[in-house]
Chain A
Amino acid sequence: MRRLAYLAAGGMLWSLSVLAFANVPIGAVVENVSLPTLAGVPQNLLGDTNVSIFIFLNPELSHSNQALAQIAACEKEMSGKPVHWSAVVSDRIPRSKVEAEVKAAGITMPVLIDQGDALYGKFGVVLHPVVGITDQNRKLIAYQPFAKVNYGAVIRAQILHALKEITDDELAQVLKPTAAVLGGEASVAHRFLRLAEKQFQTKNYNQALTNIQKSLGKNPTASAHSLRGQILAAQGKSPEAAAAFEAALKLEPKNSAALEGIKVAKETAK
């Protein structure tokens, strides 16, 4: 099952890795450029840090602003890490709009103004918001379009993976999270086991036996067989208890409660 999960996660990584900018595929070296910024001083798209992250966005659109808020949180969280951040907006967007949205989101990264959509054209950006991540050699290592669900978590994981702070498996777990299915028979069986344990402790043997039978009916584990043995032994039913302990040992030969129990049950039965 574990192997299958890894394969599935690998598949997910592959399917996302084939997504990329129209003109800059994953693995291509990104040419650094210096552009004027909202603050006035020209800034580079990429830094000399281990990782550079840039986001193309249009603050006139809701998806961009939802993304911006989540990226602002990432930027704040990762402030001490060797990551260079920049945002890119088209010079067609009214400056006042860009300033308002940047202020509302609380990002501190430079906002580069793309004059005449030159950078958009160079990358072949066809949608926004979209994030690109490059490594220290300025090679594009991740491309992430916006998603309504788990976006912040994915961006965070992509950066941490680029910084080598999380493994491939940990990234895969974020990109393809384990399904959170409800309960199941094993879970119900476990609860009956726990209840039977409590009833055994309070010497309510009959109820304990009823509930451990329910547990065994749903998921026959060594622990459940062993507890049944203990209950039967407490009721003075040594032969049945010995049989229950044997059933536990068949499933788990080193089950200490069953090993101890079977010894006592056999001696008592003599």
Chain B
Amino acid sequence: MSQPANILDNGRKSIARNHRQSLSCSGISAAIVGLLLLACGYAAMAADAKKEESTPVAKMRKNDLTPIPDLQKPVSAHSPYQDGDCSLCHQNKDRTNPGAIIKQVNALCLDCHDDFGKVMARKFSHAAARVNCVSCHNPHNAKQPKLLVEESGALCLSCHTAISNLVTNAKVKHDALTSDAKCMNCHNPHAANVEHLLIRLPFDLCVGCHGKDGIKDQDGKVLTNMKKLLAENPEQHGPVAGKDCSACHTPHGGNNFRLLTKEYPAQFYSPYDPKLYDLCFDCHEASVVKDPKTTTLTKFRNGDQNLHFVHVNKDERGRTCRACHEVHASKQKHQIRDAVPYGKTGYMLKVNFTQTATGGSCAQTCHLTRSYTNSVVPVAPKKTDTELPKSP
């Protein structure tokens, strides 16, 4: 039994030698790679490469691409290798001495995978794929599906170290990174039409999971079915209407509850501290709760008395944004809530907000019924005699 293994291992060493020679072309300077890419019809990709200055080309993985012996039970195998057709890619037919590859790596791959020409012409492409397919794939066989040289999540994180650190150290984790296709749940590793190689716009990706009933967070709390919520609540928060969940949520993990990018008060009541509102004030004007008087910052004012200030800016029982506003969508304008949770039993207290032509009112719930006026209804001027229609 050991003899075939030795033969395989010897063959593997021989192939390794040849691979070191044949793959020396993958280590040549970026400029030469650039010229080769252009020659292969990769002009668009090369232009993209220029744009993405942060592309870690210098850090591109160098993988051991020797075939994995059958005894190690490879999970996937490349058809030409499986068929023993070495000369489709190499100089020789001899499996133990295949020689150098006959073309630059990516040009060789595209000979059969020519549909990737169209894929890589998308607006955003992955440097690893642009420069060298073998950054991630073993062209012979692999212990992973899709000829990947390493488990897919680990493979991505081996270059994307900042994300790796975030994933490891985040207090709040996102299941999307560790379940199903992992990174590829949201990203296309080759190319995409959305920034960050996202398969779709953030919202369309998020509702893939968060548009179902019964999704739970890491503490077992059932999360909102966003599709259902938005279908029932037409008044949507700007980032929701703009399909940009990432305006407020960090998808790779974070330290704030609900993966919020910045601090946001988790409670109904909170002493006013601007830091607690970092999330909201990244887009909304902080003065809206800082200035006691205004005639420009908000329509939630009684004359020039700023009612946001009145509700929020308190040393003790300040009402937080969520006391009155839904964060995603509501039935009423300005994402005003229908009801607010009261006490520990989950009893919902009706807000009973009514908008009027000159302001609005809240019926007795949190406080006695009160109304406010932010403008004067223009009174139509009385028609004079000369303007009145003449009688026939």
A19 touches B242 (CB 8 A): yes
Which of A145, A150, A192 has a CB less than 8 Å from the CB of B238? Answer: A145
Q: Mark A13-25, 1 if CB is under 8 A from B, else 0.
A: 0011011001000
B297 touches A117 (CB 8 A): yes
Expressed in whole angstroms, the minimum distance between the Cβ of A123 and any Cβ of chain B is 10
A153 touches B85 (CB 8 A): no
Within 8 A of B (CB), among A195-235: 195, 198-199, 202, 204, 207, 210-211
**Chain B residues with a Cβ closer than 8 Å to the other chain, count:** 50
Q: Mark B232-248, 1 if CB is under 8 A from A, else 0.
A: 00000011011110110
Is B184 in the interface zone, CB < 8 Å from A?
A: yes
B284 touches A126 (CB 8 A): yes
A180 touches B194 (CB 8 A): yes
Q: A182-B184, A198-B88 are in contact. Are A16 and B111 (CB under 8 A)?
A: no
Stretch at the interface among B17-25, B171-179, B197-205: B197-205
Bound CA–CA A211/B82 (angstroms): 11
Is A6 in the interface zone, CB < 8 Å from B?
A: no
Q: Chain A contacts of B113 at CB under 8 A?
A: 191, 194
B244 touches A148 (CB 8 A): yes
A117 touches B296 (CB 8 A): yes
Is B295 in the interface zone, CB < 8 Å from A?
A: yes
Which of B79, B201, B295 has a CB less than 8 Å from the CB of A121? Answer: B295
Is A256 in the interface zone, CB < 8 Å from B?
A: no
Bound CA–CA A147/B294 (angstroms): 28
Q: Chain A contacts of B196 at CB under 8 A?
A: 149
Within 8 A of B (CB), among A104-135: 116-118, 120-121, 124, 126-128
Expressed in whole angstroms, the minimum distance between the Cβ of B299 and any Cβ of chain A is 7
Which of B80, B197, B244 has a CB less than 8 Å from the CB of A195? Answer: B80
Stretch at the interface among A47-55, A56-64, A260-268: A56-64
A149 touches B202 (CB 8 A): yes
A180 touches B296 (CB 8 A): no
Q: Mark B272-314, 1 if CB is under 8 A from A, else 0.
A: 0000000001111101000000111111000000000000000
B112 touches A15 (CB 8 A): no
Chain A residues within CB distance 8 Å of chain B = 12, 15-16, 18-19, 22, 58, 61-63, 90, 92, 116-118, 120-121, 124, 126-128, 145-150, 153, 173, 176-182, 187, 190-192, 194-195, 198-199, 202, 204, 207, 210-211
Q: How many A-B residue pairs have CB under 8 A?
A: 132
Most-contacted residue by chain A among B79, B197, B281 (CB, 10 A): B79
Expressed in whole angstroms, the minimum distance between the Cβ of B101 and any Cβ of chain A is 14
B239 touches A147 (CB 8 A): yes
Which of B80, B243, B283 has a CB less than 8 Å from the CB of A146? Answer: B283
Bound CA–CA A142/B266 (angstroms): 35
Q: A120-B296, A150-B201 are in contact. Are A128 and B195 (CB under 8 A)?
A: no
| Chain B residue at minimum C-beta to C-beta distance from A128 | B283
Expressed in whole angstroms, the minimum distance between the Cβ of B347 and any Cβ of chain A is 31
B88 touches A120 (CB 8 A): no
| Chain B residue at minimum C-beta to C-beta distance from A144 | B242
Show 11 A/B contacts (Cβ-Cβ < 8 Å), sorted by A: A90-B285, A126-B298, A147-B239, A148-B247, A149-B202, A177-B194, A179-B193, A180-B194, A182-B190, A204-B85, A207-B85
Q: Chain A contacts of B202 at CB under 8 A?
A: 148-149
Bound CA–CA A118/B190 (angstroms): 48
Is B315 in the interface zone, CB < 8 Å from A?
A: no
Q: Chain A contacts of B164 at CB under 8 A?
A: none
Is B122 in the interface zone, CB < 8 Å from A?
A: yes
Is B104 in the interface zone, CB < 8 Å from A?
A: no
Which of A61, A63, A90, A177 has a CB less than 8 Å from the CB of B201? Answer: A177
Bound CA–CA A269/B215 (angstroms): 64
Q: Mark B104-118, 1 if CB is under 8 A from A, else 0.
A: 000000011111000
Which 10 pairs from chain A and chain B are nearest by CB? A121-B296, A177-B193, A180-B192, A194-B112, A147-B244, A127-B283, A148-B246, A117-B296, A180-B188, A207-B83
